[in-house]
Structure 1
Amino acid sequence: MIAVTFILGEVVLRVFNYFADSHIFYDGSYNRYRGKPHVVLYGYTLNSGGFNDTEFIAEPDDYRIIGLGDSFTFGIVPQNHTFLTKLESKLKQRLGKVKVFNMGISQTNPSDYYTILTREGADLKPDLVLLSFFIGNDFDVPRKPWFRHSYMLTALNYIYKVAWKVKDFAGHQPYCDSCDTFVRKEYLRIEKERLDSWQYHVPENGEFPGGNNGLFEGTVGILLSTRDYCKAHGAKFIVTIIPDELQVDERLQQDIIAEYFPKTSRLPYNVLTPTRMLTQRLGENQISYIDFYEAFKNAIPDQQLYKPSDSHWNIAGNEFAAQILADSLVKIIPNRNLIAQDIEHSPE
């Protein structure tokens, strides 16, 4: 009876996923988590490509920026508060005609970013590609766990590990900037799991333990490919490094210590290891980057920049990041206002 029920459930879920295309079930494509075109999220409508932005239209003389990344880039806050929307507004105020295209898709990684750029971003003819690298999980290489072969086991795992522990399902109710996303204990488990992943382990002689140096080098290799693609197509390439909250918030670190490491009263690994390794390799390969670590670490004692029990930025965090980016990018983007003035005043 149990076997029959399981098989029936398997069939029903596969049929359901065929028509509903749910993100719960495994799919190696980055489209698994792509937004649905024209769906309303927190009062704002996704564009026809399922991106959290207006339609991708630019004037011929716009300076064009493509933003790549995961859920940080897509945005878990309302569309008008995402850091790329804010960045576009700030750059327009200071430089004139600038267009930022938000091509972020949740649950993606650097390999996906490269594919999105080459398949979907090329036609936009970007002047600058801004790739947001989240330290928390962008080193991970997607693997298909054994239970993912079964839709029933996948659904049961989702219910056990995620569904009942999430307080706010994105977009299904009005956005709450001060509400916890996960119950606190579950969020601490998520951050502890990230801390245990290979990239936080202190390298010995420049090598990550457990044979994971290949994973690190693979990630760097993808960034090099993105750099080379941008160069070949006349676009600048900049990596923005987004810290995990456990790296910058000492209060969260203390909560993790109290929950998991009460005997030692300290974290077992250096939380800055992955950031230091990444910035070193970016520098060695002449890849420009903007590291948010110091700015967020210095600002957090005085203000909340991450959504409660959620590793994503809140509205203030998105605003803070946009200001850092605007202050940096204004130094390298041509001032469209001055160019227009020069054209207007040039002798015939």
Structure 2
Amino acid sequence: VFLFLFLFLLPAGAMGRWASRDRLGFIPSPARSAMALLLAIASLAHALAWAMYMIFGKIAITTALGRIAVNNGLKPGAIALLAAFAAFLALSGPSRRGVMASVWGWRFHMSLAALTLALCFAMGELAVRVAAGSMPGVRYMVFVGEEERGEIYPDLKTYLASKPDIKPFMPLLNYYDNSLGMRDVEFESPKPKGRYRIMALGDSFTYGMAPYPDTVMTQMEKELQTACGGMDLDVLNFGITGGELQDYQTIYELAESRYQPDLVALHFYMGNDGPNLRHDAIPENAARRPSFKGSYLVRYLKNMLTVAQSVESARLLNEWTRFGQEKQGEKACGGCPVTPGLEITDDSPELKNPYFVPVRWNFYIAVIEIESMYVEDKAEAERRWAPTLETLGRIADQVEGAGRKFALVMYPSSFQVYPSRIDEFMEAIGQVDKYIDDLPSPEEAERFRSIRRENIKTDHPNLMLARFCLERGVACLDATAPLLAAASASEKPLYRSRETHWLIHGNKVAARAEARFLKELVCP
């Protein structure tokens, strides 16, 4: 569009010579030569980047630009630039001064060129602003710097390669992850016609710290397929270990155009996805919104250039890809067993035995979850929650702005299901002086001495998220109630000992509850 405006509409209209072969005659020959050279370089570089990607794939670091071109759908851009270059040469013709040129001289031509460029920039700015409102991939490239999410990534695989815990075909509890390092079978792309697709975002609870057939997402998918009468649907498990809300947002922005979900279910682990109410900074003006000042177009191009120059990202992706290729050589495949016939249950040592030693559990792991529910001042706690709720709202806006459904699923901490674990924690930290040498520093002891049982409000995360759902009109499931009911109905544990995650039994209870919830949103 910009090339069309610059080369045809404005110059031709001003000259009044629409049918003339010499449409660009008003531009001096040196300027025309420079423009032709720039167009030639841009078009050939773009086409070369795409060709290198197609020929060499993701093997060499030099294909980073090619990956950006392909993953942003810029194959047509290479063709368009080449066509524009050819059209420019064809329309230029011999340099002859037009009637307007002889009257107004070079001032007219310079003013016209400046006006043309200004209008082209304005249209580009408008186009990026409109696209950022409905295309998460464009929005990511505009706002990723503003939202302080760290490194900028050109595509999903490069982002996943930056995460040390995510590797293609990694084995866990006798089952391989898929080629993206997700706890699932391979994702079909493009999406089969007529299929209803759910994208599941979340942390390690969503990922599933259980054998693949027994994870919450695998079981929920089967339950939902049955509940919907054999409806053609799938659930793509994009849960990642150690994930945070910003990670969920980035994954959605980088994956949605390729996998085309109809519904996005964000799974919020109330043990640590929310703020630490004792240590997170209190924002001055609630949550920090992305700035709407400055040019979207300039930020978009700047971030794209940053991505193109990121040699480290390319290196990580190369290592990540080679790791996957080696695993494929071992016949690994997503959702396949490492050792066929080997069964792992809740009574197997891998799941039954305590995971952390007591000191590590109480003074490094459990304390983080306790502090996420620690309310000394209600108003202050709500201010600390503001950035988290702002990010949730931003993700919901992106999903719904693209015409998709958004749902929020809340997973409880073991301390919210088993209050006795809080009593055990309080007893342990009451002996903090015995473990001074095991703490990061002696000063850390005061952190534990100051914790008061009466300030631990296990329902506070639930209340904050429930209010968010009500105010935003978001479909929400709080899985606390069904897990509490299951804990009361049976002595069979739901969570691992001295660990945060569910046993297989806990995964099953949560899966059934979520399938019942999603049935109302998905089934015809």
The residue that corresponds to 2:519 in the other structure is 330
Q: 2:275·2:372 contact (CA, 8 Å) conserved in 1?
A: no
Q: Give the C-alpha shift of residue 269 in structure 1.
A: 2.0
- 1:76 maps to a residue whose letter is M
The residue that corresponds to 2:117 in the other structure is none
Greater share of residues in helix:
2
Q: Which runs of 5+ in 2 are unaligned?
A: 1-149, 152-158, 281-337, 432-448
The residue that corresponds to 2:183 in the other structure is 52
Q: 1:323/1:35 Cα in 2 relative to 1: closer, same or farther (>3 Å)? A: same
Determine which of 221, 238, 243 is the counterpart of 2:390: 221
- 1:331 maps to a residue whose letter is E
Q: 1:195/1:70 Cα in 2 relative to 1: closer, same or farther (>3 Å)? A: closer
1:325 & 1:196 partners in 2: Cα distance?
25
Q: Give the C-alpha shift of residue 198 in structure 1.
A: 5.5
Q: 1:242/1:234 Cα in 2 relative to 1: closer, same or farther (>3 Å)? A: same
Q: 2:165·2:241 contact (CA, 8 Å) conserved in 1?
A: yes
The answer to whether the aligner puts 1:135 opposite 2:299 as a matched pair is: no
The residue that corresponds to 1:254 in the other structure is 423
TM (normalized to structure 2)? 0.49
Q: Give the C-alpha shift of residue 35 in structure 1.
A: 2.2
- 1:87 maps to a residue whose letter is M
Point out the more displaced range, 75-84 or 36-45: 36-45
Q: 1:190/1:267 Cα in 2 relative to 1: closer, same or farther (>3 Å)? A: farther
1:134-177 CA distance string (max 9 Å, x none): 1111124899xxxxxxxxxxxxxxxxxxxxxxxxxxx9x97722
Q: Give the C-alpha shift of residue 275 in structure 1.
A: 1.9
The answer to whether the aligner puts 1:307 opposite 2:480 as a matched pair is: no
Determine which of 326, 341, 353 is the counterpart of 1:179: 353
- 2:500 maps to a residue whose letter is S
The answer to whether the aligner puts 1:270 opposite 2:482 as a matched pair is: no
Q: 1:130·1:240 contact (CA, 8 Å) conserved in 2?
A: yes
Corresponding pairs, count: 276
TM (normalized to structure 1)? 0.72
2:473 & 2:518 partners in 1: Cα distance?
17
Q: 2:196·2:233 contact (CA, 8 Å) conserved in 1?
A: yes
Indicate the SS of the match to 2:217: helix
The answer to whether the aligner puts 1:193 opposite 2:328 as a matched pair is: no
2:427 & 2:412 partners in 1: Cα distance?
22
The residue that corresponds to 1:63 in the other structure is 196
Q: Which runs of 5+ in 1 are unaligned?
A: 1-26, 144-170, 336-348
The residue that corresponds to 2:484 in the other structure is 297
The residue that corresponds to 1:92 in the other structure is 225
- 2:238 maps to a residue whose letter is M
Q: Give the C-alpha shift of residue 56 in structure 1.
A: 0.5
Q: 1:72·1:312 contact (CA, 8 Å) conserved in 2?
A: yes
Point out the more displaced range, 308-317 or 263-272: 263-272
1:192-234 CA distance string (max 9 Å, x none): 4225536522443x332xxx82x42111111111111111222
1:70-128 CA distance string (max 9 Å, x none): 11111111111111110111111221211000001111111110110011233211111
Point out the more displaced range, 67-76 or 294-303: 294-303
Q: 1:202·1:270 contact (CA, 8 Å) conserved in 2?
A: no
Determine which of 380, 387, 405 is the counterpart of 1:207: 380
1:56 & 1:198 partners in 2: Cα distance?
34
1:265 & 1:298 partners in 2: Cα distance?
27
Indicate the SS of the match to 2:351: coil
- 2:220 maps to a residue whose letter is L
Q: 1:195·1:269 contact (CA, 8 Å) conserved in 2?
A: no
Q: 1:90/1:192 Cα in 2 relative to 1: closer, same or farther (>3 Å)? A: closer
The residue that corresponds to 2:207 in the other structure is 74
